[in-house]
Amino acid sequence: MKADTLLTGGTVVTMDPARRVIDNGAVAVKDGRIVAVGAAEEVARQVEAAEVVDCRGQIIIPGLVDVHAHAGHGLIRTMGMHAGDRWEEICGEVYTQASPPEFWHAEARLAALERLRFGVTTGVSLLGGGDTVMRTDDPAYAAAHCEGVAEVGTRSVVAVGPTRAPHPWTYATWDGDRRNTYPVSFEQQMETCLQVADRWHDTHGGRIRIALLYPVLRDEHERDMAPADYALACTQLQTVRKHSRDRGLLFTQDGHWRGSIRRAEKLGLLGPDALLSHCIDLHEDEVDTVARTGTKIAHNPSANASILGRCPAPEMMAKGACVALGSDATAPDRSGDMFRHMQQLMHYHRRHFRDASVLPIGQALAMCTIEGARALGMEDRIGSIEIGKQADIVTVDLRRAHLFPPNMPVHRLVCFANGNDVTNVMVGGEMVLRDGRATRVTEAEILDDAAAQTALMLDRIGGHGNLVLPADFWGPAASA
């Protein structure tokens, strides 16, 4: 059998149903798909490859999957993070008032490059953030994001949707130094989202997919909103959910907690095509509801929400629910490095239960490989190294001091590796990172563009003061 690429000599962690780990293994790829997996000697007898990649001293894993992150955040990151809610306020201001398409293109390329360097081949990106403030007044912004990701070569599930009622919201464009503001209705945002779905869903060989969202409605929204506004928000939410079902798109929401799953079930939002993030301090009946409805959960153990409450991820998985791992990147103190989040995940729940055996190492890896793919409805395409699946494959260099000596490679991968140990990344059979270098793009150009767009954004919001270290940065002793 002829193949395009043969990765051979490494430890292959398949994440297949049997969870096979093959020492001195090999994976063969042809036309973007995996055509052989097994012992290196056996595969070598079966396959004649145009390119052979020597993976001795490395571990070969499926591409990592990040089921919750935010587009736009990469150019804001730490700004104002020490001043209460200031960071989220900056997000809302930037996403509505100071982010032309060039901003979204620059940020998309930077975030995709970060993911690529960390071995994340597939990630969800909400087109905005703060309190779920979306840049959906015009399709140009989502287009800029999708084009940026496509240039780098990773996969992105781009979530678009309206902002929360009441409307209109005020957005702005810029003509040089002059800002032009205008009102944006729910109907305009909804039309934008549908146009984005029509244009971009399942494009670039399936690397770009679109999801729909509407902000979470929680107890405080019903309490604090005018009754008519809350009723309108419920109607809008159900409209978005109907569109997601009619079009076969993933539906996602950011920020469920303490009773909001009950509310979501009453509104008819749940199901196997729904992905709900954070989900902290759920009631016992909500845990049961998640499992019963097949609703998927994006657990973000490194996020601020996980400080305010705990996502009962082990309890939900024990009942058969699909819980996948998200980074909530990039903001304000966390990256897209899924190795970091696997390690945080295990420590987080072990500390809660005071039991070092809670959340086994292999389960953590599953949550950002095959379970991540399942959460996105893509388990038939990606998430494991199996014959017939698309070849999203990552190699990690184990010949490093923090990953030595050479034994128990899967333990070392999950517990000690970091994203900078990634050497090669293949997406759909294409080597988009080779020996630690991106093959499609020039990294320096992406960095320079990101810096330029950030400086322009800061000028437009007058945000340079948000970059100053606070008085208590070094702690109370140093501040005295």
Indicate whether 73 and 46 sit together in one domain: no
Rounded (10°) angle between helices 443-461 and 86-97: 100
Boundary-marking domain end, from 325, 356, 375: 375
What mean pLDDT is reported for the chain?
A: 95
pLDDT digits (tens, 9 = 90+) for 210-226: 999 999 999 999 999 99
**Long-range interactions of 16-19: CB distance < 8 A, separation 24+:** 16/384, 16/385, 16/386, 19/362
Domain end (from 375, 404, 425): 375
- Please choose, from the candidates 191, 96, 206, the residue with its C-alpha nearest in 3D space to the C-alpha of residue 139: 191
Q: Which residues fall within 8 angstroms of residue 172, CB to CB, at 6 or more apart? A: 96, 97, 98, 179, 180, 181, 182
Given a cut of 90, is residue 340 above it in pLDDT? yes
Element (H, E) at 313: helix 313-318
Per-residue model confidence (pLDDT) at position 47: 96
Residues 6+ positions from 401 with CB-CB distance below 8 Å: none
Per-residue model confidence as pLDDT tens digits over 225-245? 999 999 999 999 999 999 999
Statement to judge: residues 193 and 287 lie in one domain: yes
Domain end among 324, 351, 375: 375
For position 428, which CATH number holds?
A: 2.30.40.10
Q: Residue 176's pLDDT band (boundaries 50, 70, 90)?
A: confident
Residue 454 belongs to some domain of the structure: no
Q: What mean pLDDT do residues 338-346 have?
A: 98
> Do 393 and 273 fall into the same domain?
no
- Give percent of the chain above pLDDT 90: 89
Give me the residues paired with residue 324 across strands: 298
Together in a domain, 226 and 370: yes
Whether 359 is in a domain gets the answer yes
pLDDT for position 478: 60
State residue 81's pLDDT score: 79
Same domain, 46 and 69: no
Residue 480 has pLDDT above 60, yes or no: no
Pairing of strands 133-134, 120-129: antiparallel
The number of distinct structural domains making up the chain is: 2
Which CATH number do you get for residue 230?
A: 3.20.20.140
Residue 471 included in any domain: no
Can you say whether residue 162 is alpha, beta or left, with left for phi > 0 and alpha for psi between -120 and 50 degrees?
beta
Non-local (6+) Cβ contacts of 208 within 8 A are 146, 149, 150, 155, 156, 158, 200, 201, 202
Compute the distance between CA of residue 57 and CA of residue 55 in angstroms, rounded to an integer: 6
Both tokens of 365, joined, read 């890896």
Name the nearest CA neighbour of 59 among 435, 412, 366.
412
pLDDT value at residue 479? 52
User: Does residue 150 share a domain with residue 48?
Assistant: no
Mind listing the pLDDT tens digit for each residue in 57-113?
999 999 999 999 999 999 998 888 777 788 888 888 999 999 999 999 999 999 999
Flag whether pLDDT at 294 surpasses 70: yes
Same domain, yes or no, for 179 and 284?
yes
Lowest mean per-residue pLDDT among 19-28, 131-140, 319-328, 466-475: 466-475
The per-residue pLDDT for 473 is 85
Question: Could you give the C-alpha distances from 77 to 58, 332, 387, in angstroms and in order?
Answer: 32, 5, 39
Any bridge partners for residue 397, and if so which?
A: 58
Task: For residue 472, tell me if it sits in a domain.
Answer: no
Give 225: exposed, middle or buried? Use CB within 10 Å, 0-12, 13-18, 19+: middle
What are the tens digits of pLDDT across the range 118-129? 999 999 999 998
Nearest C-alpha neighbor of 304 from the set 284, 265, 333: 333
State the DSSP string of 420-442.
Answer: GGEEEEEETTEEEEETTEESSS-
Which residue range(s) make up the domain with 406?
Answer: 2-62+385-437
- Inside any domain, residue 235: yes
Instruction: Report the predicted TM-score, pTM, of the whole model to 2 decimal places.
Output: 0.97
Question: Is 451 inside any structural domain?
Answer: no
Tell whether 324 is covered by a domain: yes
Inside any domain, residue 464: no
Q: Are residues 165 and 21 in the same domain?
A: no
**115, 193: one domain:** yes
Name beta bridge partners: 127.
Answer: 71
Report the distance separating Cα 144 and Cα 383, nearest Å: 27
Please classify residue 256 by burial: count the beta carbons closer than 10 Å to its beta carbon, then call 0-12 exposed, 13-18 middle and 19+ buried: buried
Residues 53 and 153 in one domain: no
Same domain membership, residue 165 and residue 19: no
Q: Do residues 430 and 153 touch, judged by C-beta distance below 8 A?
A: yes
What Å distances lie between residue 221 and 165, 215, 218, 263, CA to CA? 10, 11, 5, 11
139 and 25 in a common domain: no
